[in-house]
Amino acid sequence: MTNVLVCVKRVPDSTSEVVLTDDGQAVDGRYAGFTTSAHEECAVELAAQVTGADGGEATVLTLGDDDAVEQLRSSLAVGCHAATHVVAEAHRFGPADVAREIAAVVREHEAAGRSHDLILLGNDAADSGDFQVGIRLAYELGRPVVNGVNQVSVADGVVTAQGAGPEGHETYRVPLPAVVTVLEGGVEPRYPSVQGRMKAKKVAIEQRTPATEPAGPDRVRLLLPPPAPSDVQILGKGADAAPAVVDVLEKLGVLSR
């Protein structure tokens, strides 16, 4: 039985045009809505798979304002069993602050008899992109850490984490307890089922206040990158475009002549 803690962050959906808030401190989610990043969705899926395989408990944790409950419930609906909410204004917390808060939860849970053998995080946050929390958390807890993998399985007290590396496919075997940060692409996150959603609604969420005053992210402001040049190329219109389309398909290797 592996008990997994998976950490998520409520972020604006940035799959369409990204809009910043007026003060440049955050991404504005008013049009696209809020979600968790694709990395974290995969981390949640892996948590569900690992605990589904050996009967362990998957706990989802977030640090965020009252609205972040939505992301906890969404994770509960797709396979997590318990949830912890550190109620705080996320933008006042830098990566070191967040790592310290997660570590505090892990220690307290452990003291209360709930160990988290495996801690899964997304590789990086979709809004602030700090790339730090996983490593800082592992350091804080004195645990081994594997970064940027997309497959995770657990057997005999060892976590096997795999992913693409610069030299090819990489596989790590690390003894538990451990921390792993996840990249999207290795697993297909499930959609919630109706019963899953109904069950998620009924789970009592553990609410906590931050353990320490945050030092802050020291962020001056966010800037949008210049819009990427459009790579749309119009091949033609109607039947006249057919030869050009065939050429492209051939070039892509999906068509052989």
Partner 1 sequence: MATVPPTARVVVIGAGIVGNSLVHHLARLGWRDIVQIDKGPLPNPGGSTGHASNFIFPVDHSREITDLTLDSVRQYKEMGVFTESGGFELARTEARMEELRRRMSSAKAWGIEAHLVDPAFVKEKVPFIETDQFIGAFWTPSVGVVDSLRAGTIMRESALETGALTVVPTVEVVGLDTEEDGAGRRRITRVRTTDGDIEAETVVIACGVWSPKIGDMAGISIPLTPAVHQMISVGPCPQLAEQEGEISFPIVRDMDTFCYERQHGADMEVGSYAHRAILHEPEDIPSIEQAKLSPTEMPFTSDDFDPQLEQAYELMPELLGADGAEMRYAINGLLSLTCDGSPILGESEVRGLWTAAAVWIKEGPGVGRAVAEWMTHGHPEIDVNASDVARFHQHQKRREHTRLRTTEAFIKTYGIIHPSEQYESDREQRLSPMHESQKKLGAFFYETAGWERPHWYESNAHLLEVYGDAVMPREHEWDSRWWSPIINAEHLRMREAAGVIDLSAFCIFDIEGPGALESVQRTCVAQCDVAVGKVVYTPVLDARGGFKSDLTVMRLGDDHFRVVTGGAHGMADRKSFTDQLVDDGATRLTDRTDELSTIGLWGPRARDILASLTSDDVSDAGFGFLTCREVQVKGTPVLASRISYVGELGWELYVPMDAAAGVWETLLEAGSSHGAVPVGIGVYGTTGRIEKGYRAFGFELDGERSIVEAGMQRPKVKTADFVGREAYLRQREEAPRTVLCTMTVDDHTSASGAKRYMLGGEPILTRDGGTLTDGHGHHPYVTTAGSAPSLGKHVLMAYLPPDQAVIGNQLAVSYMEELYPVTVGSVDATPLLDPANERIR
Interface residue list for partner 1 (CB under 8 A): 13, 15-17, 19, 29-34, 70, 73-74, 190-195, 197-198, 201
Taking the complex as a whole, the smallest distance from the CB of residue 194 to partner 1 amounts, in Å, to 4
Burial class (CB in 10 A: 0-12, 13-18, 19+), 156: exposed
- Minimum distance of partner 1 from residue 16's CB (angstroms): 5
CB closer to partner 1 out of 26 and 103? 26
CB of 32 to partner 1, least distance (A): 5
CB of 76 to partner 1, least distance (A): 11
To partner 1, the closest distance from the beta carbon of 220 in angstroms equals 25
Residue 7 half-sphere exposure, CB side, CA atoms within 13 Å?
A: 28
69 or 211, CB closer to partner 1? Answer: 69
Which of 18, 87 has the CB closer to partner 1? 18
Q: HSE, CB side, 13 Å, CA atoms: give it for residue 135.
A: 7
> Which CB, 8 or 137, lies closer to partner 1?
8
Give 237 or 251: the residue with its C-beta nearer to partner 1.
Answer: 237
